[in-house]
Chains A and B, each alone.
Chain A
Amino acid sequence: MTDLRPGTAERTGKNSRATPPPRRRLGSFLGRVDTKWSPYLFVAPFFVIFGIFGLFPLVYTAWVSLHQWSMGGSGTFIGFENYVELFDDPDFWNATINTLGMLVLATVPQLLIALVLASLLNQGLRKLTFLRVGVLLPIVTSVAAIGIVFSQIYDRDAGMVNGMLGLIGVDAVDWRADKWSSWIAISTMVNWRWTGYNALIYLAAMQSVPRDLYEAAIVDGASRIRQFWNITVPMIRPAIIFTVIISTIAGMQLFTEPLIFGQGSYAISGGSLRQFQTLSMYMFEKAFRDFDYGYGSAVAWMIFVLIMLLALINFLIMRKGK
């Protein structure tokens, strides 16, 4: 019986601190290690993967951008010469303006329409599931398919848009020939694809807005539009910040839509006079068409810096608004 006593004592927990058995001490050590380090282990896969696929390429790209790095592999170190050249490069600035222009044309209407759409979906319509699936569909459509279909809609000779313009007596537009027309065409593709996605995020956020706020507003005689601006929008602010930042990042990386819209063997230039060449396209052109990897990497890093800047500006504006 005596040899059972430590066990009993342990179970009561009273004497265990005074005379901990050696076996248990190891156990509690492991337990401490467990509570202290397990969480890190659980989140480690993300950081390991990020380190390999995110951080390393980032640093490596920076390294390459400091070199004259062409076909023959690692080239001569030239410091910031690529960046100096970049600041003097009209094609780079042209691509920056195009990217920012299409970013505004694509993001602003997209988020506004998504907000309105979400608040409509939030009204408790019947057949809601059907409608929700409806707004989701464009996201699962492949970008390439969207690009091809819209390219035909905006075709100069046989396109639907020019056909409809013809009906109201407007001359056919060569959509690829001008900045404004190509920007509109490309922005439509982006808007079409992402509006539903953002609407769903807003809808989810709206569903957590307390109903009594609206009831109180109705009692106070606030119109639906007033309710929308004074209750819905402020209450889902975090969701809006999220979508603005995500859309900005996506907009800065715009690549496939303009590339497919461009057509032809040298589509990477985004039109005969680079009317709609984005920064990612310019990066790709320099690295893989002109084989100037160092310069391409410098463009890549400038995209990164621009995204950081824009995200920061977004964040500051949003926080100030609060």
Chain B
Amino acid sequence: MPVRVRRTLLATALAGALAATSACGGEAEDSAEPGKTTLVVKTFSQFGYEQLFAEYEASHPDIAIEEENIGKLGDYLPKLQQWIATGEGAGDVVALEEGILSQFMANPQHFVNLLDHGAAELESNFLDWKWQQALTPDGGRLVGLGTDIGAQGMCYRTDLFAAAGLPTDREAVGELWPTWKDYLATGKRFLGADTGAHFFDSSNGIYQNILMQQGDHTYYDTSNNLVIDSNPAVRTAWGMTIDMIESGLSANIEPWSPQWNSGFKNGTFATIPCPSWMLGTIEKQSGPENADKWDVARVPGDGAVRGGSFLAVPTQSEHKVEAAELVKFLTSPEGQIEAFESKNNFPSSPQAIDDPAVRDFTNDYFNNAPVGKIFGESAKAIQPVYLGPDNNPIGDRVSNALVAVEQGKLGPDEAWAKAVEDAKRLVN
């Protein structure tokens, strides 16, 4: 039997029933601390807000903050769906990851318009594209305020580069690939040296990177029409990725698989596009025995980001005004710097990026690479990209088509036709 749907629907139903029975006692949750308003903040993974909450509570004696954290984004997403769909349980502040946000942008009425709460004057506190992402196309509603971004560099193995006769200094490595064409050429040189390693892990990250650098929009135009087969940006990213696969650069290793994890340790690939949050993963998987073998250079093309989140206030919150104030506090440049110091979440605020605490940050595992500076430049260089409602599911299908090419199961043209057809079927 459909256990999962059953369970979910049941949970939804029970939540509904509970809501009905507790409707008359709506203020019950506040009675724990008389005179105080309790704000419930829902987050996933690590936002590094403990210190900020303590500060805020100290300066706002009438506010108590409760954080409810869910470890994995994958577990958080279906729950968030339920809270929003049933109108119950989302609390007062929710974290929205970039991909989730783009799915909710089609139904912005579920979230408080932060422009009504004086957010307009904060625009300069955010990178332009980050601000645009949470703004409806007509500019009338602001769904969330940015927290961190997955500013990106290109991580590479100095030992493999040395073995292939390539420079190992991060400035010189960055100069090897001003564009993705140069990256491809470097990859061919690397393969020619026959070190036994591939040039990158899988086409997935490369494709995402190139696509996001093409600017403006991807699978949807800004009026939410599907333009996957007519947008030259998608076609360019696809074509360049196919070139790299056909040149044998890819190790064809699925990200987040056990193979991928051991690939870091065994040096089966020489480079990987790495968002700031991935540095911890690389360090953990490569282990202390590979310390100083990794370094970070600039990414080909003009900057890149992958991932990053927003904070929003669901309309079901009973304390919208207080919640909006808290969101403004947490996403302020100072708040973002604190979160960065706490969990290395790279700020989305230009003021925070230029702050010495971020700018001068180096990572000793990666040969003391000045990651604060590299990621900051990457983040500022990128142009805003509009992501439509089904951006994530379509992206999944496109990257699966690329994997099929890597596996030798489909020719590039067949794979492209399949990706387009899948996307069209999904949207209809």
A binds B: yes
Given contacts A53-B10, A71-B107, A73-B86, contact A273 B409 (CB under 8 A): yes
Partner of B257, one of A61, A263, A273: A263
Partner of B1, one of A148, A288, A297, A307: A307
Contact mask for chain A residues 249-283; partner B; CB cutoff 8 A; 1 contact, 0 none: 10001010000000111100100110000001001
Nearest chain A CB to B313's CB is how many angstroms away? 17
Q: Which of B255-297 contact A (CB under 8 A)?
A: 255-260, 262, 268
Query: Which of B77-85, B329-337, B371-379 forms contacts with chain A?
Result: B77-85
Decide if A132 is an interface residue (CB 8 Å cutoff): no
Nearest chain A CB to B3's CB is how many angstroms away? 7
Q: Please give the residue numbers on chain A whose beta carbons come within 8 Å of chain B beta carbons, in ascending order.
A: 52-53, 56-58, 60-61, 64, 71-73, 89, 148, 151-152, 155-158, 174, 176-178, 249, 253, 255, 263-266, 269, 272-273, 280, 283-284, 287-291, 293, 296-297, 299-301, 303-304, 307
Query: Which of B32-40, B338-346, B397-405 forms contacts with chain A?
Result: B397-405
Given contacts A64-B9, A307-B1, 18 further A-B contacts (CB under 8 A): A56-B13, A57-B7, A57-B10, A61-B6, A177-B408, A249-B1, A253-B1, A253-B2, A255-B4, A264-B255, A264-B257, A264-B260, A266-B399, A272-B406, A280-B3, A283-B5, A293-B85, A303-B1
Decide if B396 is an interface residue (CB 8 Å cutoff): yes
Nearest chain B CB to A12's CB is how many angstroms away? 57
Partner of A61, one of B9, B106, B110, B254: B9
Q: Which of B39-93 contact A (CB under 8 A)?
A: 77-78, 81, 84-87
Nearest chain A CB to B252's CB is how many angstroms away? 8
B4: chain A residues at CB < 8 Å are 255, 280, 283-284, 287-288
Given contacts A61-B5, A73-B87, A290-B390, contact A264 B254 (CB under 8 A): yes
Decide if B18 is an interface residue (CB 8 Å cutoff): no
Are B254's CB and A263's CB within 8 A? yes
Are B255's CB and A61's CB within 8 A? no
B10: chain A residues at CB < 8 Å are 52-53, 56-57, 60
Are A71's CB and B104's CB within 8 A? yes
C-alpha gap A178/B78 in the complex (Å): 30
| Nearest 8 A/B pairs, CB to CB | A300-B2, A264-B254, A263-B257, A272-B403, A57-B6, A272-B404, A177-B407, A73-B85
Decide if B410 is an interface residue (CB 8 Å cutoff): yes
Are B84's CB and A71's CB within 8 A? yes
C-alpha gap A283/B103 in the complex (Å): 19
A288: chain B residues at CB < 8 Å are 4, 8, 77-78, 81
Nearest chain A CB to B150's CB is how many angstroms away? 14
Chain A: CB-nearest residue to B109: A72
Chain B: CB-nearest residue to A301: B2
B397: chain A residues at CB < 8 Å are 269
Given contacts A57-B9, A60-B13, contact A272 B258 (CB under 8 A): no
C-alpha gap A299/B6 in the complex (Å): 12
A60: chain B residues at CB < 8 Å are 9-10, 13
C-alpha gap A130/B406 in the complex (Å): 48
C-alpha gap A72/B397 in the complex (Å): 24
A299: chain B residues at CB < 8 Å are 2
Are A158's CB and B2's CB within 8 A? no
B103: chain A residues at CB < 8 Å are 71, 291
Are A304's CB and B1's CB within 8 A? yes
Are B3's CB and A72's CB within 8 A? no
B425: chain A residues at CB < 8 Å are 89
C-alpha gap A148/B257 in the complex (Å): 10
C-alpha gap A158/B265 in the complex (Å): 13
Given contacts A71-B85, A273-B400, contact A155 B5 (CB under 8 A): no
Are A266's CB and B396's CB within 8 A? yes
A89: chain B residues at CB < 8 Å are 425
C-alpha gap A174/B5 in the complex (Å): 32
A158: chain B residues at CB < 8 Å are 259, 262
Nearest chain B CB to A305's CB is how many angstroms away? 11
B256: chain A residues at CB < 8 Å are 263-265
Are A291's CB and B404's CB within 8 A? no
Partner of B400, one of A56, A253, A266, A307: A266
Are A61's CB and B399's CB within 8 A? no
Are B258's CB and A72's CB within 8 A? no
Nearest chain A CB to B417's CB is how many angstroms away? 13
Are A155's CB and B258's CB within 8 A? yes
Decide if B215 is an interface residue (CB 8 Å cutoff): no
Decide if B426 is an interface residue (CB 8 Å cutoff): yes
Interface centre among A71, A174, A299, A307, by most B CB within 10 Å? A71
Q: Which of B231-255 contact A (CB under 8 A)?
A: 254-255
Are B393's CB and A289's CB within 8 A? yes
C-alpha gap A287/B5 in the complex (Å): 8
Are B407's CB and A174's CB within 8 A? yes
Partner of A289, one of B84, B257, B396, B407: B396
Are B2's CB and A272's CB within 8 A? no
C-alpha gap A137/B25 in the complex (Å): 50
Chain B: CB-nearest residue to A57: B6
Nearest chain A CB to B78's CB is how many angstroms away? 5
Nearest chain B CB to A137's CB is how many angstroms away? 23
Q: List 23 A-B contacts (CB under 8 A).
A: A57-B7, A60-B10, A61-B6, A71-B110, A72-B85, A73-B84, A73-B86, A148-B258, A151-B258, A156-B259, A157-B268, A177-B407, A177-B409, A249-B1, A253-B2, A263-B254, A264-B255, A264-B260, A269-B397, A288-B78, A289-B393, A291-B81, A293-B85
C-alpha gap A280/B7 in the complex (Å): 13
B84: chain A residues at CB < 8 Å are 71, 73
B77: chain A residues at CB < 8 Å are 288
B410: chain A residues at CB < 8 Å are 273
A152: chain B residues at CB < 8 Å are 258
A253: chain B residues at CB < 8 Å are 1-3
Nearest chain A CB to B369's CB is how many angstroms away? 26
Contact mask for chain B residues 385-428; partner A; CB cutoff 8 A; 1 contact, 0 none: 00000101100110111011011111000000000000001100
Nearest chain A CB to B205's CB is how many angstroms away? 10
